Amino acid sequence: MVQTNLNGTTDRRIDALLALLSDNTMIVISGAKIAREIGVTRSTVWRWIEKLRALGVRVKGHPRSGYQIEKVPDVLVPKLLRKRLHQGPIGKRIHHFFKTDSTNAVAMRLGEQGEPHGTIVIAEEQTAGRGRGGHTWHSEKTNGIYMTVLLRPPVAPQNAPLITIVAGLAVRDAILEQTGIAPDLRWPNDLLFGRKKFCGILTEMNAEQDRIHFVAIGIGINVNHLKIPEDLAEIATSLRIETGRIYSRVEVVARLLRHLDSYYNRFISEGAESIVARFTEVSSYARGKRVRIATTTGTYVGTTEGLEPGGLLRVKRDDGRTLPIISGTLTEAD
Ligand code: BTN
């Protein structure tokens, strides 16, 4: 197995502590017993319990009486997540962080160190979450999903946009299943409720001219945010704001990885056409949408005319020219 050197990754024994408490929700377990079972001192158990409480995990009790939780906590640690995942390469290896700079940055480093296809990097909080176009991604503690999936697809770099679309489709289906509401997909892979975005995807790639070494697909989902920062409130939302419900992030991640596995296999076995067709089916942006595209050299308006076989979006500009979008930010034109 590949050995990777990661600073700040969650101690496996905290993972074990959470699993132990979750497997015994009806029972008060003494600090001494926990300490013995996971192989740390009682004072470390106490310190870690405090850390979990700071994350919102409701742990009852104290060092003298012992500890108990009443329901399985919604923390994305490997032991709790794995219980919900199916067999397969995606999610076989999970690196969890309570806090990290960016799960994409970590995954890119891991990719260079030879980490296998399907590895996941997931964090409760990011201090420097990366967004597209050099923006930052607002990564509020424990309310969102901040996850990067490392894939080693056997396809040419020109097909990379399709892998991003594959991820967007997987998020769409997972959210529909979870909330009962079908989100829209704004090309290439923003997930929207109405005109507001609740999920963004940033794909970073390490490739040669004719071969992808690996891609890091970073997915950020606003799940249980009650409020969106003022400067984003006009354009962003969360699952909770839209539906008035609180969601289990573990459940959302499990669904998402299942759909990702299925769309990825479809892409590898059936090819681009099937992915392009599916996107066209579920995205209001694929055809006949009036859009504004802001690029570094200027802004133009036009109407979408479907996807090219490689996944690029064709737009008939108001000046009469039809071109695929290579870069820039796309929004709905009024
Ligand atoms: C966008 O701008 O729409 C893309 C946002 C992608 C954010 C996610 S959060 C998990 C992963 N790690 C990062 O640093 N960014 C991505």
Strands 322-324 and 329-332: unpaired
CA 165 to centroid of ligand 1, rounded, Å:
15
Percent with pLDDT over 90 in the chain: 80
Tokens of 16: 């074990």
CA 131 to centroid of ligand 1, rounded, Å:
5
Atom of ligand 1 nearest to the CA of 128: 14
State how far the Cα of 226 lies from the Cα of 43, in Å rounded to an integer: 35
pLDDT for residue 35 is more than 90:
yes
Q: Which of 219, 252, 253 to mutate to test the pocket of ligand 1 (most atoms within 8 A of CB)?
A: 219
Say what the pLDDT of residue 26 is: 84
pLDDT tens track for 185-238: 999 889 999 999 999 999 999 999 999 999 999 999 999 999 999 999 999 999
pLDDT tens track for 304-325: 999 999 899 999 999 899 989 8
Atom of ligand 1 nearest to the CA of 104: 12
Q: What angle is formed at CA 43 by the lines to CA 37 and CA 45, rounded to 5 degrees?
A: 45
Q: Which of 202, 221, 256, 327 to mutate to test the pocket of ligand 1 (most atoms within 8 A of CB)?
A: 202
Q: How many residues belong to the chain?
A: 334
- Residue of minimum CA distance from atom 3 in ligand 1: 200
CA 125 to centroid of ligand 1, rounded, Å:
12
Q: Is the CB of 201 under 6 A from ligand 1?
A: yes
Of 185, 186, 165, whose CA–CA distance to 274 is shortest? 165
Residue whose entry in the numeric block shows the structure tokens 């929004």: 331
Cβ burial, residue 134 (10 Å; 0-12/13-18/19+): exposed
State how far the Cα of 100 lies from the Cα of 9, in Å rounded to an integer: 8
Q: Is the CB of 131 under 6 A from ligand 1?
A: yes
Say what the pLDDT of residue 5 is: 54
State how far the Cα of 281 lies from the Cα of 16, in Å rounded to an integer: 43
State how far the Cα of 152 lies from the Cα of 89, in Å rounded to an integer: 11
pLDDT tens track for 91-149: 999 999 999 999 999 999 999 999 999 999 999 999 999 999 889 999 999 899 999 99
pTM (two decimals): 0.93
Q: Cβ distance 32 to 45 under 8 Å? A: no
Q: Cβ distance 59 to 73 under 8 Å? A: no
| Rg, Å, the chain Cα set | 21
- Residue of minimum CA distance from atom 15 in ligand 1: 130
